[in-house]
Structure 1
Amino acid sequence: MNTLSWTTAVPLVSLAAWAWLLLGQGFFWRTDVRMPAVTGGEPDRWPAVAVVVPARDEAGVLPVSLPSLLAQEYPGRAEVLLVDDGSTDGTGALARSLAERVPGGLPLTVLDPGDPEPGWTGKLWAVRCGIAHARARAEVPEFLLLTDADIAHAPDSLRRLVRGALAQRLDLVSQMARLRVRTGWERLIVPAFVYFFGQLYPFRRVNRPSARTAAAAGGCALLRTGAAVRAGLPDSIRDAVIDDVSLGRAVKRSGGRIWLGLADGVRSVRPYVGLGPLWRMVSRSAYAQLLNNPLLLVATVLGLALVYLVPPVWACAGSPAGGAAWLVMTLTYVPMLRYYRQPLWLAPLLPVTAALYLAMTVDSAVRHHRGRGAAWKGRTYS
């Protein structure tokens, strides 16, 4: 292949990839997969729910997130089980104090799971403790709401989740919480994080019972207790670093019906000040997403370069195909920026963000091969 044909072929391949992503990847770029509003008739019976909150050194975010759970306007029986996973910042004591300030709120129980057994990640060990406690009740709750300690819920969040599960006969209903976007680095990286997640796991495909694609959003996942038993959860995914995707797969593979969408009344209150925390958020699990496989890493790096880096480079060199690919890329990013209420001039900068994610992925692989694996709050998983 001569130089002229090579320089023509590369942007054309990139443009073809974007044409397929636009139309053939489950319309991943659309942001209209949402929970329906709570209107119309109510269920005849509101099932009992146990809210399980794994928390490790979360004193900085609990004053915002925990009261929103305790103040849920839920017509049925519900309780909050906060699992204090070896915190050193007084998370458990703070949780009890916050519960005293919400008179008439949901009852709170603070649990101590002890150190994780070998083969378990810390979060799933804490979830196991919370689920076991809930199932030991005289009246076993029909649903388990698994939600992270940094997630704040609108007053009707639990009610909407349960109603959606009952109305559509779902075994798992999860919402991708709206992450915090305030700083410059958050604006550059956070909306793209959800955009890339949707590209890997198109919500419409996840929600189709006949499709093999499965995933969930770990920050807010309502799970039927019976479905958890059938799927052997959380024991069957005890060592999963990307626990939310593993959760969705386990439920779907066991015959359960799942739903995943974007949230309106569920948001993360965790701040990411500077690039460092955002870098760690992505790099701690990026290589695990590739099954810790060097060949998949090479393929991913080449694919990211072809899809995200080639279009602007070739467009600046005067290639119409490169410019068209960059335009399609930009337009697919606009809905996510609107969802996050961010300026649309950020859309053409998606290749810059993709380059950062590429570097984070490579860094994740380097950490893994140096024996540091996925690290989170003082724990490292090889």
Structure 2
Amino acid sequence: MNVSTSVWAITLVVLGALLLFDLVIVGRRPHEPSVRECALWITFYVGLAVLFGIGVWAAHGGDYAGQFFAGWITEYSLSVDNLFVFVIIMARFAVPRSAQQKVLLVGIVLALLMRGAFIAVGAAAISRFEWVFYLFGAFLVYTAVKLASGGEDEGEEFKENVMIRWARRMLPMSDRYNNARMTIQVNGSRLLTPLLIVMIAIGTTDLIFALDSIPAIFGLTQEPYLVFTANVFALMGLRQLYFLLGDLLNRLVYLSVGLSLVLGFIGVKLVFHALHNNNVPFINGGEHVGWAPEISTQISLAVILGTLAITAVASLIKSRSVARRELIGPAATMESAQEARDRDRVTD
């Protein structure tokens, strides 16, 4: 896939302009967006991603378009999982709803910068060292096992890291929020608000998620252009999705299981790819491993979509079942109490 410098430049300018437009809106009017506003923005961003994928199809063929869509869907799903941690952080630091949108946007910008750096490093490593795929594959399998073993309780607690503890000790901090501002005037002194601590928490969380997401997308495409654009589109509209989903996030109880299966599949695919193109001396004498299959983009896309769809449906079914039991429980208790009173009256 040959992407000219001019196409790269146009893409960066357009995507940067979209993010800047979003930044200006939030900066001028911090607020809790309505459901209609969130739905319109998400539809807009998803529509842009789909149109971009169709453009890739027209310019470079269906295989590259499939790689983009597989990467975008995977990264979008990982971003939704990231929202769980954002919800916990917001609750942990009691961030006002009106300020949460600004915090989320800063978190998204930080995520883009970190992922951009990791993409550059990853692309350079892959172009020079084929054995990097072994490392990426092993890391994804390890992450998948860890994510699956965490189960439904993953992320229930948030522990302050070293950077947060350092900021609390060294910086002049207030315990009061000043709407969405970073500083506040207290007794003639200018202090930082807890918003800075929240942004540090969000930024360090983004770093951890970037370590998972970049190997995952390199398992689906080795084209830096597709890796970068899939990540950008996956992060666009994330802050609106945070407010739109609301309580639905708590109902996606099997999301971690589904993501663990996706990451495990991509990890195995990466290992197969490394074996198929093996040049490591101590593996099969440095020769290619003939039995290692190359998993096609079409199969990858089908596995990812199928796994996530089954995960979403199973999560909603279980959540509905739990909610029904919670409703039936009090009703059954009241019914038993009424029956006991009726028996007492009959006995009397």
Normalising by the smaller structure, the TM-score range is under 0.3
Q: TM-score, normalised by structure 2?
A: 0.26
Higher relative contact order structure (alpha carbons within 8 Å, sequence separation ≥ 6): 2
Greater strand content: 1
Q: Which has the higher helix share?
A: 2
